[in-house]
Amino acid sequence: MKSLTLAGAGLLLSTLTAVAWEPTKPVEIIVPFGPGGASDQMARTMQAIIQKHNLSSQSFIVVNKPAATGGEAMLDMKKSKGDAHKLLTTSSTIYMTPLATRIPVTWHDLTPVGMVAQDEFLVWVNQAAPYKTLKDLVEAAKAAKPPLKIGGGGSKREDELITYGMWKELGATVSYIPYKSGGEASTQLAGGHTAAETNNPSEDVANWRAGMTRPLCVLSEKRITYTEKITTDLAWSDVPTCKEQGLSFTYNMLRGLFMPGGVTKDQQAYFVDLLKKVAATPEWKEYLQRNALLPDLRTGKEYVDFLTADESKHKTLMTEAGFVSTK
């Protein structure tokens, strides 16, 4: 009887092992933007970590599909239904692009894997600008004729949405100038062509370190926690929140992953587990610190709940701003 029990246990174990899934060919990590941007950096960091720590028997290949503000990548994922060898890096454009363009795909057509972090946004000014606080900038904006120029990366994307939300509350009219990227917006600010801009830490840190731009405040509920000095005497943790300076509007952007729809639970579970392994490495923690990202690992229901609430927030704000397509 004992031998039969052991045999049955062995058969059960082999059956469980057999149903577990892993990739059988190279996995594509699709980035909905061009090379060099924040989403691309995240994908390539993951790729390098997976390879270095031998976390998968298959290679991971980064593929950039930047057309249509992420729309090309989302449509590709929808067409790839059931293909478990594709991943999509994502940000707030997962909601914003479908709302602004009415492309026939949303995140509900895809399979959530997990969220790894939230990107911070800050209000930046030129180093030589007279504004020392957000209040100084607001007073200048209210007195300016023509309106102050506020730069940002792209049209009807996060930076323009932030500009709308914060200046609506602050009660001043400004002129938003969309550039091709956050890097270009930072360059234009450093050159004195705009009065201020909103940007991620990773896209402005070089100019801050070089003494060309500086942050007034961070658009988050809490200060950035990293204490390593960026300039001679200032760290990210020294930058006050905009809330501390009287602005209630806040904004953070998710960083996460999706698979195509129609994959199996085992296939989804494989990448959820892989994501957790990547997030546990020292290289990933160094990446988070280097880019001043807010660590936020969520999978399963926690991730879906976040997506649902964040989508609702974006839809409300985009509708108010007139960014939602009615066609």
Query: What pLDDT score was predicted for residue 19?
Result: 52
Give backbone dihedrals phi and psi of 276, rounded to 5 degrees, phi first.
Answer: -65, -40
| Mean pLDDT, rounded, of the chain | 93
Q: What is the pLDDT of residue 14?
A: 42
Q: Which residues contact 67 (CB under 8 A, 6 or more apart)?
A: none
For residue 11, pLDDT beyond 50: no
pLDDT grade for 68, boundaries at 50, 70 and 90: confident
**What is d(CA 255, CA 91) in angstroms, rounded to the nearest whole number?**
5
**Does residue 135 carry a pLDDT above 90?**
yes
Q: What is the mean pLDDT of residues 147-175?
A: 95
Based on C-alpha coordinates, what's the Rg of the chain?
22
Q: How sure is the predictor about 2, in pLDDT bands with cuts at 50, 70 and 90?
A: very low
Confidence of residue 320 (pLDDT cuts 50, 70, 90): very high
Domains of the chain: 26-119+253-321 (3.40.190.150), 122-245 (3.40.190.10)
- The C-alpha atoms of residue 184 and residue 151 are separated, in whole angstroms, by 9
Q: Give yes or no for residue 187 having a pLDDT over 70.
A: yes
User: Tokens 């061009």 label which residue?
Assistant: 34
253 DSSP β-pair partners: 119
Rounded to an integer, the average pLDDT of 247-261 is 97
Q: pLDDT at position 1, please?
A: 45
| 114 vs 306: CA distance, rounded Å | 10
pLDDT for res 36: 80
d(CA 192, CA 125): 9
Q: What is the pLDDT of residue 12?
A: 45
Tell me how far apart the alpha carbons of residues 192 and 267 are, in angstroms, rounded to a whole number.
50
In the predicted structure, residue 262 carries a pLDDT above the cut 50: yes
Does the pLDDT value for residue 5 go beyond 60? Answer: no
Provide the total of helices (H) and of strands (E) in the chain, helices listed first.
11, 11
Determine the angle formed by the axes of helices 38-52 and 282-290, rounding to 10 degrees: 160
Across the range 73-95, mean pLDDT stands at 96
CA dihedral 183, 188, 191, 196 (to 10 degrees): -100
pLDDT in tens, 294-312: 999 999 999 999 999 999 9
d(CA 297, CA 114): 7
